[in-house]
Every structure is written in structure tokens, then in C-alpha cells.
Structure 1
Amino acid sequence: MIDSPPQLALTIQKAIGKANRGSAPSSADIRRWAQAALQAGDAEVTVRLVGATEGRELNRDFRGKDYATNVLTFVYDEGEDLRGGTDAPLTGDLVLCVPVVVRESAEQGKPLAAHFAHLIVHGLLHLQGYDHEDSDEAEEMEALETRILAELGYPDPYAERSA
């Protein structure tokens, strides 16, 4: 029997004003990036694209940091070992702050789509239990991100750090 790929139930919310709409990725791209990052089984995920005000409020309220950040990950199965293989679908939310992603993309000289793809992949891996709190975890997570992004046709997002 052939194993089927993990199933992704994805909801995309675009809570952004007109100024950010042209910079937001398409729903099809978000779905493709999220599906590519899904490693640990089936998942139910909401990706919410927000402006700077909501991004800042969420970062302040949930992380105690009073600025808008590029991506926030909210995991709803926190107590389970998600990489250990569970029958219950993974559930969580990713919140991407569009103006921050746009600014970072320009500052880093990266194509906007590549930066959005990286952050979706990064956030989905966090949902699945990957982390970068110590150097071994960071190395594992970054290698996986780099491989997934290469499969999607994007360059290594960490390449400039080793140059």
C-alpha cells in the first residue's frame, strides 16, 4: 500500500488593508508552501495575514514584546510529542505580519515570495515541534527548512549568514 501524503485542512484569513493586499501571497502559494512543510501527519491550520497594528498587539499580548514581528506560531496540541506520530491532527495558527515581511524582504535583498515561503515553512515546522532554542535544534530545523525550500525552488534562506 502506498502511503498518502499528510492531509492539510487550511484556512487562510487576509486581515489586511488595501495598502498590504498587493504584497500578500496568493492562497494557492500559501497552501503549496504549507503542504510542503507538513512532516508529522495530518493538520488543521489557519494562516492569518495581518497588518502592523494587529501584529504588534498579538506579539505584545502573547510574547510580551511590543513590536510587530514577521511570524507568530500558536500550537494547540502543546502537550503532545508531535514528531512522535499521533493519530490526532496537528492544530494551530500562523500569523504573518505582511508589512514586516515586506520590509525584511527588501532589507535582506530577498524575493518577497521566497521570504513568505520561508516563514510559512518555518512556522509549520514550529507547529510540528521543531525549534531553534539550542544550536543542535537550530541546525536540524534550518537544514529541514533549507531542504523544503529547495524542493519548492527557493534558495537557502540562511546562505548569507555563512558567506
Structure 2
Amino acid sequence: MTLTVDLQIASEASDLPAQSAIEQWVTAALAGHQWQDGPVELTVRIVDADEGRELNAAYRQRDYATNVLSFPFSAPIPMPVTLLGDLVVCAPVVASEAKEQQKPLQAHWAHMIVHGTLHLLGYDHIETDEAEHMESLETSILTSLGYADPYAEVGN
């Protein structure tokens, strides 16, 4: 696979993951999917709370910044396309959640990138069975990367 990640930093945060880490997490999430064998492109935009809130309000009608938004690319006509879509990650929300959940910041970033990439691949967590499947995939991917189960209770 040839992966191109267009990393856009629109955040004042200083503790952001390196592009190489983001690429590693995306690659792990793509393993076993149709995108693993060819070229694939996606954008990862890291934002602060104001932009995160604006986008969440505009696209999900929720007036707060959320951790990650996924925008899968859909070609208007059938064509061979290598563009998977866009991820928007809100750095202050990720940092706040990591602290609240007592998780290492890097591990939570890995979780958010994997989670968002799985959304780009069509996974969802609206229905209980979908959520269980997606969480199982996330756990498998993250533990294969050396991170703890993101859904384990603190202290387990």
C-alpha cells in the first residue's frame, strides 16, 4: 500500500502526534480492507475547539467540539479513486478525554485516528451489534500496535 496522509495542523496544541505515528495508525486500520493493496489518500486535519465546534454543528447539528469527525469521500460518478476521505480531530478534546479517562495521550490519539479511519471505511456504532463489532476491531488494532484496550475500565 502506498499511503498519502495530508496532515493539516490548525491547532495551537504543542503535544500533537508525529505524521509518522498517524500514518502507522491509519495503516493498521486499513489492514484487511480493500484499501490495503493500492494507493490510498486521506486528509487528517487537527483543529482547536472553535473549528471543531463549528464543524460538528454544521455536519451533525451538535453545538460542541467532538473528538473526531469523519468525512468519507464519495465520487459523484464511478471512477477509480484513491481518496478515502477526511478526518478532523479536535486536539483539546482528545487531550481532555485522555486526562479524564486516565489514558496516555498518545494512546488516545491512536484510538481516535483508528476510530475515524474505520468510519471512513464504513463502520459505525449506532446499533449495538455495529458498536460491538467496531469496538472489537478497534481493540484488536490498538493492541496489535502495543496500546491497551481503549474500552477497558480504568484500573483493569
Q: TM-score, normalised by structure 2?
A: 0.88
Specify the code of the residue in structure 2 equivalent to 1:145.
Answer: E
Match of 2:34? Answer: 40
Which consecutive segments of 4 or more residues in structure 1 shift more than 3 A? Answer: none
Where does structure 2 lack aligned partners over 5 or more consecutive residues? Answer: none
The aligned amino acid for 1:16 is: S
Deviates more, 1:113-122 or 1:132-141: 132-141
> 1:135 Cα deviation (Å)?
1.2
d(CA) in 1 for partners of 2:51, 2:114: 22
- Alpha-carbon distance in 1 for matches of 2:90, 2:27: 20
Q: 1:47 touches 1:96 (CA, 8 Å); kept in 2?
A: yes
Structure 2 counterpart of 1:134, which letter?
E
Aligned equivalents of 2:74, 2:41: Cα separation in 1: 11
How big is the shift at 1:139?
1.1
What's the CA shift for 1:150?
0.7
- Supply the AA of the counterpart residue of 1:123: G
Residue 83 of structure 1: aligned partner: none
Q: CA deviation at 1:87?
A: 5.8
1:111-163 Cα shifts (integer Å, max 9, x gaps): 000000000000000000111111111111111111110111000001118x6
Change in CA separation of 1:104 and 1:157 when aligned onto 2, cut-off 3 Å = same
Q: Does 1:94 align with 2:87?
A: yes
1:120 aligned residue? 113
> Does the alignment pair 1:7 with 2:2?
yes
What is the CA–CA distance in structure 2 between the aligned matches of 1:72 and 1:37, rounded to whole Å? 16
How big is the alpha-carbon RMSD for the aligned residues of Structure 1 and Structure 2?
Answer: 2.1
Give the corresponding residue for 2:57: 60
Q: Secondary structure at the match of 1:160?
A: coil
